[in-house]
Structure 1
Amino acid sequence: MSDRSTKHSTFVIERNYKHTPARVFAAWAGQAAKAAWFPKADEFDFRVGGREFNRGGPPGGPAYTFDACYQEIVENKRIVYSYTLDVEDKRMSVSVTTVEFESVDGGTHLIYTEQGVFLDDLDTPEQREHGTRLMLDRLGEVLEGQ
């Protein structure tokens, strides 16, 4: 690939869940709980400096690699992590994500903020935001089913 490009973007998604911040936080903090709504991690070490890593994709399709490092964790309040996303051997993006859990009447107000640089037109902020919205919807479905 001879054309190189970068596109910087920030998006924020907010969701309300009918569960306590502790319950919603737990859905991010435990490997089995998170695997119910996010691709199962090959490695999951939920602590500051810990790594979450998974590699996979559709049958017969390209392999995607998610490689995250937890930068800050405040129980039931905030998770900050940085991550790279690759397709095969090509870096698609580098992001910093903050997930905030606010107590509100009847549950939790979650604020998801992603600040990313999207590389060489391999992904777009719009596609990432769409996929993240679907992921947070799936989190809600899993929480409601429990």
Structure 2
Amino acid sequence: MTERSVTHSTFVLERTYNATPARVFAAWSTAEALLRWGSPGEGWQVGFDRFDFRVGGGNICRFGPAGGDVYVNDARYQDIVPGRRIVTADTMTCGDKRLFAGLATVEFHPAGAGCRLVFTEQGAFLDGHDLPENHKAGWTEMLGNLDVELRRASAAA
């Protein structure tokens, strides 16, 4: 039998983007936008089985390194305030192993002509199958990708 354990973790990442809160919020609100910036690592593949951006809706995202393990994140939207915040309850699995259960909050604050984004993840990492530092590294990468996406979209406009 597998040793059972839970590691609790909370981390907060803050970024300031040269885009309005409405534009940054919009980058989280469609599968197409998320697919452009939502890869947690170079060479990783990301796809959605379902995307329903509304309170009570959710998304199922499959992701992982090309040719490697496939992770499934099942997110349920608990709260959405357009241009202000998104709150999701998430679980992550790999095969038949539940790795993680948690809550993610994304806040969008005006910052001059731009947006200060505050991302908070509160997680329970289960049975040693995943680590808080993996999530923090993945979200750090994705929030950097979001900056590139917002700059690309501005240049194209």
> TM-score normalised by the shorter chain: which range applies?
over 0.9
Give, in angstroms, the shift of residue 40 of structure 1. 3.0
SS of the counterpart of 2:141? Answer: helix
Mapped partners of 1:61, 1:30: distance in 2: 26
Please tell me whether residue 6 in structure 1 is matched to residue 6 in structure 2.
yes
Unaligned segments of structure 2, at least 5 residues: 39-45
Q: Tell whether the 8 Å contact from 2:2 to 2:127 is kept in structure 1 after alignment.
A: no
Over 6 Å off, 4+ runs: none
Q: Tell whether the 8 Å contact from 2:47 to 2:62 is kept in structure 1 after alignment.
A: no
Residue 19 of structure 1 corresponds to 19
CA RMSD of aligned residues (A): 1.1
Among candidates 111, 120, 125, match of residue 118 of structure 1: 125
Give, in angstroms, the shift of residue 120 of structure 1. 1.0
Residue 30 of structure 1 corresponds to 30
Please tell me whether residue 40 in structure 1 is matched to residue 47 in structure 2.
yes
Mapped partners of 2:21, 2:95: distance in 1: 36
Q: Which moved more, 1:83-92 or 1:33-42?
A: 33-42
TM normalised by structure 2 equals 0.89
Q: Tell whether the 8 Å contact from 1:34 to 1:40 is kept in structure 2 after alignment.
A: no
Residue 100 of structure 2 corresponds to 93
Unaligned segments of structure 1, at least 5 residues: none
Q: How does 1:47-66 map to 2 (within 5 A)?
A: 47-66=54-73
Residue 116 of structure 2 corresponds to 109
- Amino acid in structure 2 at the alignment position of 1:72: D
Query: How many pairs are equivalent?
Result: 146
